Amino acid sequence: MTISESALTILVYVCLCASCISPLLLLYWLIRDIKGKKLW
Amino acid sequence: MTDFMLGRETALVILVLFGLAWVGWGWYLGRNNRTIEDYALAGRSVGFAMATATAMATWITSNTTLVAPQLTYQFGVWGMLGYSMAALGLILFAPLAQRIRQLLPNGFTSGDFIYQRYGRFAWAMFIIISLCYAFGWLVSLGMAGGLLLSSLSDLSYLTGMTAILVICVGYTLLGGLKAVIATDFVQSIVIITGVVIVAWVCIDTVGFDTMHTTLTREQPELLNLLFPAAIMFFFNNIFFGIGEIFHSNVWWSRAFAFGPGIGKKSYLTAGLLWLPIPVVTGFIALAASSLNLVPPSADMVGPMVAAKLLGSIGAVFIFVIVFSALASSMDSLLAATSDLLTQDIVKKLFVPDASSDTLLRANRYIVIGLGIGTWCIAAFKLATLGALLNFTGAFVASTIWPIVFGLYQPKLTGRWAGLAMVAGTTCGLIGYFAIGFYVAAIISCGVSLVCCRIGIMQSKDYFQWHELEEKG
């Protein structure tokens, strides 16, 4: 039983999109913490 | 020199620039550290963004960037999925982090909790396991630094290992946990952006259809979903990851350092954001046969594919990513291990009434000592240390249940918790030698669970949680 091309494509794209979003989320939270004086 | 290697000058320029930036920033962040709480726990008020980034960055080691492609190259789809299951450790630690902060608002280390909850016998077992694991990981990171930087560039092993140690010791010493967390933030952005770019270029250049067709023809086992050893690896890695996180002071010290109400949210978010990364770093290994690449060793498959896809820029990318991944774990480990030695050995065993200033000084000396000790052992380049880390799975998995029951089940006593760690580790090691590395953590965790359950069933004790706060 092997993984199909479409399943592999979906798996990788989902993970890739999630990984693209994470630096943006971290930067957004950083700016929010700095503005709210909650960085440290 | 192969096409994925950097020239000596370029590699040195990158290291010097990183070193100056990190050490300078570490000094800047640490200039207001006055007490041991400021230095070791960043004042106990780390915000959500920094907390999430440091948890993610620390869990992204050189293994995530190099071993995930290696495992994909060896075990196929299960290799990358199995590796990403290590995120469960972060996710499951989230509620524990909240509980730890509630039960021990003034705690410093994981050893503090075990000592106050279970007493001296279980604490001694736990400290032996923790220090062996921490020092083993530290030395293996130092060695990985030397080996990887020398494999990715013209630098010698000793230069690469010395550079990464000096830089990490420098900023950890000057800035304490605040410097570790702040550099982790930048490192996490650098690592994720780098691996995403490499993965996009891989899809764009090779494509899924070519990759799948080539693999079906040449290496069909990598697409096989019923690959027995790979499935065992998948489950073993879950328990190994949980054990590594639950017992290690790297994660406990962060639970104490994060602001009130931050720990649970940040560990959960970090786990969810970490989950897809091994798939992104691992899947590029599936393109190796489509690109006609035959790596000299399996762990070089990631750098080779990246360099083939991106040319000399790919080599710089991989060098920076690997350096960031190594530094983000090494600094955390230096800080957490020095805290453990300061609080659990210096304070508990030798100077119980030590002042904050004395502990702060001791902590700084210990950071330097750990750096020198790591350099001395890593300089021998013991090839067996990699293998040594493999069976730490048996040690760390035995601590999972004593910690979980210690936090939530008042009936488990110190004697049974200590026995669970000893029996779990022993049986895990027997499994490691008799069957293979991929069962050590599962067996250790299972035996430890049985011991803890027996201890709870026949216990007449009932631990009062408020005792922890009073003692702490």
Which pLDDT does position B1 carry in this prediction? 52
- Number of A to B CB contacts under 8 A, please give it: 96
| Residue of A14, A21, A26, A38 to mutate, interface with B, max B Cβ within 10 Å | A26
Q: Does B46 sit within 8 Å of A26, measured CB to CB?
A: no
CB-CB neighbors (< 8 A) of A23 in chain B? 188-189, 192-193
Name the residue of chain A whose CA is nearest to B188's CA: A23
Q: Does A16 sit within 8 Å of B199, measured CB to CB?
A: yes
CB-CB neighbors (< 8 A) of A14 in chain B? 276
Q: Does B196 sit within 8 Å of A15, measured CB to CB?
A: no
Distance from CA of A27 to the nearest CA of B (A): 8
Which pLDDT does position B17 carry in this prediction? 95
As beta bridge partners, residue B258 has B46
- Classify A17 as helix, strand or coil: helix
Residue B305: HSE in the Cβ half-sphere, 13 Å Cα cutoff = 34
Name the residue of chain B whose CA is nearest to A6's CA: B208
- Classify A5 as helix, strand or coil: helix
The closest CB to that of A1, out of B189, B196, B225, belongs to B225
As beta bridge partners, residue B46 has B258
Which pLDDT does position B308 carry in this prediction? 85
Q: What residues of B are in the A interface, CB distance below 8 Å? A: 42-43, 45-50, 52-53, 56, 77, 84, 178, 185, 188-189, 192-193, 195-196, 199-200, 203, 208-209, 211-212, 216, 220, 223-226, 259, 273, 275-277, 279-280, 283
Distance from CA of B57 to the nearest CA of A (A): 11
Distance from CA of A10 to the nearest CA of B (A): 10
| Residue of B83, B212, B225 to mutate, interface with A, max A Cβ within 10 Å | B212
Q: Does A26 sit within 8 Å of B52, measured CB to CB?
A: yes
Which pLDDT does position B389 carry in this prediction? 62
Domains delineated in chain B: 8-383 (1.20.1730.10), 391-472 (no CATH)
Q: Does A8 touch chain B (CB under 8 A)?
A: yes
Which pLDDT does position B3 carry in this prediction? 58
Which pLDDT does position B297 carry in this prediction? 76
| Residue of B39, B181, B185, B196 to mutate, interface with A, max A Cβ within 10 Å | B196
Q: Does B279 sit within 8 Å of A5, measured CB to CB?
A: no
Question: Residue ranges per domain, chain A?
Answer: 1-40
Which pLDDT does position B312 carry in this prediction? 75
Distance from CA of B185 to the nearest CA of A (A): 8
Q: How far apart, in whole angstroms, are the C-alpha atoms of residue B405 and residue B393?
A: 20
B223-244: per-residue pLDDT in tens?
Answer: 888 877 777 777 877 888 898 8
A1-40: per-residue pLDDT in tens?
Answer: 889 999 999 999 999 999 999 999 999 999 999 999 999 8
CB-CB neighbors (< 8 A) of A16 in chain B? 196, 199-200, 203, 276, 280
Q: Does B50 sit within 8 Å of A30, measured CB to CB?
A: yes
Q: Does A11 touch chain B (CB under 8 A)?
A: yes
> pTM of the prediction?
0.92
Q: Does A3 sit within 8 Å of B277, measured CB to CB?
A: no
Q: Which value does ipTM take for this structure?
A: 0.96
Which pLDDT does position B148 carry in this prediction? 80
Which pLDDT does position B153 carry in this prediction? 87
Full pLDDT tens readout for chain B, 472 residues: 555 678 889 999 999 999 999 999 999 999 999 999 999 999 999 999 999 999 998 998 766 777 788 888 888 888 888 889 889 999 999 999 999 999 999 999 999 999 999 999 999 999 999 998 888 888 888 888 888 888 788 899 999 999 999 999 999 999 999 999 999 999 999 999 999 999 999 999 999 999 999 999 998 888 888 877 777 777 877 888 898 899 999 999 999 999 999 999 999 999 999 999 999 999 999 999 899 888 877 777 888 888 888 877 878 888 888 889 899 889 999 999 999 999 999 999 999 999 999 999 999 999 999 999 999 998 887 655 555 666 788 899 999 999 999 999 999 999 999 999 999 999 999 998 998 877 888 899 999 999 999 999 999 999 998 888 666 5
Distance from CA of A2 to the nearest CA of B (A): 4
CB-CB neighbors (< 8 A) of A2 in chain B? 216, 220, 223-225
Which pLDDT does position B341 carry in this prediction? 96
Q: Does B226 sit within 8 Å of A1, measured CB to CB?
A: yes
